[in-house]
Structure 1
Amino acid sequence: MSSPTLPLFNPRDVPIVPQLGSERLYPAHPERLTPAGLRALFAQPPPWVPELVREQRFGDRVPTHAAVLLPLVMRDRLSLVLTLRSAHLNSHSGQIALPGGKLDPGDANAVAAALRETHEEIGIEPGRVEVLGVLPEYVTGTSFIVTPVVGLIQPGFELAPNPDEVADVFEVPLDFLMDPSNHRRHAWNWEGAVREWYSMPYDDAGQERFIWGATAGMLRNFYRFLSA
């Protein structure tokens, strides 16, 4: 018998709840939000533990390995490239996501998959990405075992979004995402189980970019890494 799937709902309407514990959190140090700081951090990672590893599972999908890229553009303020998924997709339609997807048999590893998928989705060529390293795997409620890959990109690239997968591409300043005061924790009781996630709503010139779910979870782990 299949496990129940989540119904359609608006994540913006799910109540915001207090952060767990009494830990006082601070923004990631500005020196770490630079290309040099990130290179040094990945070269000698500090001891740290990811906050989020596995979402509560729903459905009976066979676990599938996937990879996403955190493409950090080297502007005056580092910015992260994100996508808005097309509304007609079967999975996570209309949601904000990191470019990426399932590992193919021809991919050498998760890094290769993240670079290939990013090129296919938004047109950024693998050769333009300076790969810094990977973050711990993140398992989604739909049984995707996702490896987040972090990379730097020089400005001047041309985007070519694939309309079959991507409705929009935009950037969010990394310092905004790495400030825990912009992280909201949500909880929703559905069929006797409490589901929790983070959101990071961003005002993009008057347009709300509602970053939540697995994307926000991986960014929360990135924050934990940068603030370790």
Structure 2
Amino acid sequence: MDGAEAPLLARLGAALARPGGGSSDFDLNPDAAPPAGRKLRQAGVLVAVHLDGPPSLILTKRSAKLRHHPGQIAFPGGKVEPADDGPVGAALREAEEEIGLPRERVEILGTLPAHETVTGFEVTPVVGLLRGPFTPVPEAGEVAEVFRVPLDHVTDPARFRVEGRRWQGRRRHYYVVPWGPYYIWGATGRMLRTLADGMNG
């Protein structure tokens, strides 16, 4: 570790150690309650902090041809399969499949509180470090684009705002943290807000 990494790792460590429960797509929508008796499916996403140059996060733009969440900005990740070692294993496997990131290159730092989605998933954000050059290989048919966003941008609470749109007959509110041409919102925006709050608490 060089001297420049130490403050960053300290802030990431503070975010990972911060006490508190998880987040939910229902947080900003008090008039919408989670379904009673729901059974959530487990998932993991990789919050990869890339240290090649100024610290950044690796995000994907989902293919417009996908049935679920087409064209949206997301972390690499997906549901936990039986062969996975929980959400961490799922996040590493999906990152390898979706963007060609070898799991052995990722140094896992820990996990953030899980986030419940309106689609019935409990998503665990897995924070890891990636050092040195990396050329992503987007998974054909699933990932339209892989890009990096400055870590300072998406961990600055002042960059976030709350917006809303109609969904299933009612107005739903959510966090957004736009960057350039990328509209980062929904579950990804909420998980980033959790990270931002933890690193600035």
TM range (shorter): 0.7 to 0.9
Instruction: Please give the TM-score of this superposition, normalised by the length of structure 1.
Output: 0.75
Instruction: Please give the TM-score of this superposition, normalised by the length of structure 2.
Output: 0.84
Q: Residue 224 of structure 1 corresponds to which residue in structure 2? A: 197
Distance 1:140 1:134 in 2: 17
* Corresponding residue SS for 1:148: strand
Q: Pairwise mapping of residues 173-192 of structure 1 onto structure 2 (< 5 A)? A: 173-188=150-165
Note closer, same or farther for the CA distance 1:35–1:104 as it changes in structure 2 (3 Å cut): farther
Distance 1:99 1:191 in 2: 27
Q: Displacement of 1:43 after TM fit?
A: 5.2
Note closer, same or farther for the CA distance 1:194–1:107 as it changes in structure 2 (3 Å cut): same
Q: Residue 64 of structure 1 corresponds to which residue in structure 2? A: 41
How many residues of Structure 1 are paired with residues of Structure 2 in the alignment? 189
Q: Residue 88 of structure 1 corresponds to which residue in structure 2? A: 65
* Corresponding residue SS for 1:210: coil
Q: Displacement of 1:191 after TM fit?
A: 6.4
Q: Displacement of 1:75 after TM fit?
A: 3.0
Distance 1:225 1:105 in 2: 31
Equivalent residues of 1:96, 1:215 under 8 A apart:
yes
Of 75, 82, 88 in structure 2, the residue corresponding to residue 111 of structure 1 is: 88
Moved over 6 A (4+): none
What fraction of aligned residue pairs are identical, expressed as a percent?
42
Equivalent residues of 1:66, 1:101 under 8 A apart:
yes
Distance 1:61 1:162 in 2: 32
Letter in 2 for 1:89: L
Distance 1:222 1:84 in 2: 20
Distance 1:139 1:70 in 2: 17
2:117 is aligned with 1:140? yes
Q: Residue 14 of structure 1 corresponds to which residue in structure 2? A: none
Q: Residue 178 of structure 2 corresponds to which residue in structure 1? A: 201
Letter in 2 for 1:223: A
Note closer, same or farther for the CA distance 1:116–1:193 as it changes in structure 2 (3 Å cut): same
* Corresponding residue SS for 2:177: strand
Distance 1:93 1:190 in 2: 15
2:141 is aligned with 1:164? yes
Gaps in structure 1 of 5+ consecutive residues: 1-33
Equivalent residues of 1:48, 1:224 under 8 A apart:
no
Q: Residue 97 of structure 1 corresponds to which residue in structure 2? A: 74
Q: Displacement of 1:227 after TM fit?
A: 1.2
Equivalent residues of 1:68, 1:100 under 8 A apart:
yes
Q: Residue 74 of structure 1 corresponds to which residue in structure 2? A: 51
